[in-house]
Chain A
Amino acid sequence: MSEIGLPLDLHFVLSRARKCGERLGGDVHDRIAAAVYKRAEMLAARVVQTPSERAGEWDARLDDIFTSRALGYPIMLLLLGMVFWLTLAGANVPSELLAAVFLDVEGRLTAFCAAHAVPPVVHGILVEGVYRTVTWVVAVMLPPMAIFFPLFTLLEDLGYLPRVAFNLDRFFKAAGAHGKQALTMGMGLGCNAAGVVACRIIESPRERLVATLTNVFTPCNGRFPTLLLLASLLTGGSGPAAAAVVAGVVLLGVAATWTVSFVLTRSCLRGLPSSFALELPPYRPPQWGRVIVRAACDRTLVVLRRAVTVAAPAGAAVWLVANTHWGGVSLLGHLAGVLDPLGRAIGLDGFIVAAFLLGLPANEIVFPILLMGYLATGSMVEIGLGDLRTLLLSRGWNGLTALNMMVFSVLHFPCATTLLTILKETGSCRWTVLAAAIPTLVATSVCFATTQVARALNP
């Protein structure tokens, strides 16, 4: 130390600490844990009186049902199905109501612009671009999220979700992933950005990254309307056949999640540390009021705010792309022309690929952009199912196109909000790039394969 004239600095202390650790045999953690738990045991024995009869018997009885071999999985599917049905059925009415209100306001805004001689370009960008995109996203996203997130939070509050992870862990372990990934995927059904944030519940670094990178294979609320629409176009109605088709592509997403997790954990994530311990907390009666407030504030509003901040500039950009003409064709048309060969190769066309690219800010606007391109109207539109069918057929669509668009929608790159969230969560550009590249590669290959197979079978 200072008496013997050695400069006392941090390096010195650190090397000394290292030597101490070595001298103690490297099991310092064991010594600490042993001492702490010995004291804890003694203390608890002195101050806690536990009844010999277990009073919380109903906890065990609930677990007997929820984790049983026979009932565990059926109950899980039933609950998931119920959450889903409530979300889809419950969101319809408020979505339509919101859309009607927004349309009414849009009419007034347009009238106002006309009355005050606002230049058409300004009106176009602000009303047909920004306003229409933002309100579209809000009308499509807000009601399902306001129903889905509280329901999901309710299951979380009840203590049921850890049991789902418990039951499904074996399935995920086979892919090198964590049982809790089932929960992050569930969250992803609401919104992939929220699903990525939910990956925080996975403590083990490797499994957390796997869950983050594959969350996009779970179709979110923003993609479901597109999937439902395409499925009903494909099967000619919205009956059980359409539901089966949607279920099929969701299962395709699960298969992609599993396969990509399997490959990642055996390739680039191999060296990352991995450990598993899953606490099963006691069941607790949910706190209804708090659940609704928490789900509304923490999840719905946060996700919505991010989506809107992304959708507003995107609306302006899309409007400009669709309305700037060059050589008699809009930029959107030119873009579609360039992308057409690629689109054809994977069973789509240039406009569909362009719509997916321009729809990067939010998946909800992919279909509206597509219609805008086909109709060359210059702003986003919505038309009836019958007209839509005629329009798409006139554009050379067939069953394969619809199917491929569904497949591409489920498997393609995450939206901008999700990518930003991944960047924030992982703090790494490399993982964010991979999070976009992997799904793009998967979606392109799968669509390419289905197209080749279909063409070979049906020349």
Chain B
Amino acid sequence: MTRDGTELPRPVVALAGNPNTGKSTLFNALTGLKQHTGNWPGKTVACARGWYRYNGQTVTLVDLPGTYSLLSDSPEERITRDFLCFGRPDATVVVVDATCLERNLNLIFQIMEVNTRVVACLNLMDEARRRGIRIDVPALARELGVPVVPAAARRGEGLTLLKETLHRVIEGRIHPAPRPVSYDPELEAAVAELAADLAVLSREGLNPRWVALCLIAGDESIIPKIRTFCNGKETQGDTHVRNRVTP
């Protein structure tokens, strides 16, 4: 089935964000009614899938459950994390509440650790304007290192720009260069060390730094996933032998 997104028609765009950021509104605005809600195999939480056409390309959009973090241990967060980490989306939109940016940055920084092809969608701009909140969008994009698209999904504002930006990211014409958070030196050193080992061990597509961070943080629920990634389509022994020779 579509557990890791690899069998979804490409290109696949993942939609992530905190709860209450108008993520579903954006999803509905982008896909119209071309969607179906399906339960994920063995999971408790619904993930809606939909699609839209832009510039001759049909893009599959996956609406992930709203989460505040990727490091906590709720079913929603596990699904979101697993999809971003192992589903290998062609691009990830992080929907951010413009009225409450600081709080929403937590998730975007974490997602930027997992994926590089990230686009931030600064939603609820209409509400921010109404409250007199002003955001320097170019500066935000510079600081994050990823494209930032201001939008008001309820009014349909910013949708075309978002589709265009995604199109360019998917086509490889824009290369987001996320600038994730650097942790304290001790933690950074531990992460780097472990990431090097993981890079040796796994085949392409696994983000060693992020997995290392999860493991050091004691998140054991990721282990079965890594195991499949390390063995993947090859037979077990095969991988180990090949990996030991590669470095």
Which one of A42-50, A130-138, A220-228 is at the interface?
Answer: A42-50
Contact flags A5-48 to B (C-beta < 8 A → 1, else 0): 00111101110111011011010110111011101110110111
- Size range of the interface on A? 35 or more
- Which of B33, B44, B101, B135 is close to A426, meaning CB atoms less than 8 Å apart? B44
Cα of A427 to Cα of B20 in the assembled complex, Å: 27
Contact B25 A290 (CB under 8 A): yes
Contact B71 A31 (CB under 8 A): no
Cα of A32 to Cα of B70 in the assembled complex, Å: 12
Interface residues in B202-247 (C-beta closer than 8 Å to A): 212-213, 215-218, 223, 226-227, 230, 240, 243-244, 247
Which one of A139-147, A277-285, A325-333, A382-390 is at the interface?
Answer: A277-285
A71 vs chain B, min Cβ distance (A): 25
B168 vs chain A, min Cβ distance (A): 23
Judge if A287 is at the interface, Cβ distance under 8 Å. yes
Judge if B161 is at the interface, Cβ distance under 8 Å. no
- Which of A10, A40, A282 is close to B102, meaning CB atoms less than 8 Å apart? A40
Residues of B within 8 A of A266 (CB): none
Contact B20 A279 (CB under 8 A): yes
A371 vs chain B, min Cβ distance (A): 37
Judge if A203 is at the interface, Cβ distance under 8 Å. yes
Residues of B within 8 A of A12 (CB): 197
Which one of B85-93, B170-178, B179-187 is at the interface?
Answer: B179-187
Judge if A424 is at the interface, Cβ distance under 8 Å. yes
- Size range of the interface on B? 35 or more
Residues of B within 8 A of A (CB): 19-20, 25, 28, 33, 37, 39, 42, 44-46, 71, 74, 76, 99, 101-103, 105-106, 109-110, 127, 130-137, 139-140, 143-144, 154, 181-184, 186-187, 190, 193-194, 197-198, 200-201, 212-213, 215-218, 223, 226-227, 230, 240, 243-244, 247
Q: List 25 A-B contacts (CB under 8 A).
A: A2-B247, A8-B197, A8-B240, A8-B243, A10-B226, A13-B198, A13-B215, A14-B223, A17-B194, A18-B215, A18-B218, A20-B216, A23-B190, A28-B216, A28-B217, A35-B184, A39-B109, A43-B144, A46-B143, A47-B143, A55-B132, A200-B45, A287-B25, A290-B25, A424-B44
3 nearest A-B pairs in the assembled complex, by CB-CB distance: A17-B215, A40-B105, A51-B132
Residues of A within 8 A of B (CB): 1-2, 7-10, 12-14, 16-18, 20-21, 23-24, 26, 28-29, 31-33, 35-37, 39-41, 43-44, 46-51, 53-56, 200, 203, 205, 279, 281-282, 284, 287, 290, 293-294, 297-298, 302, 424-427
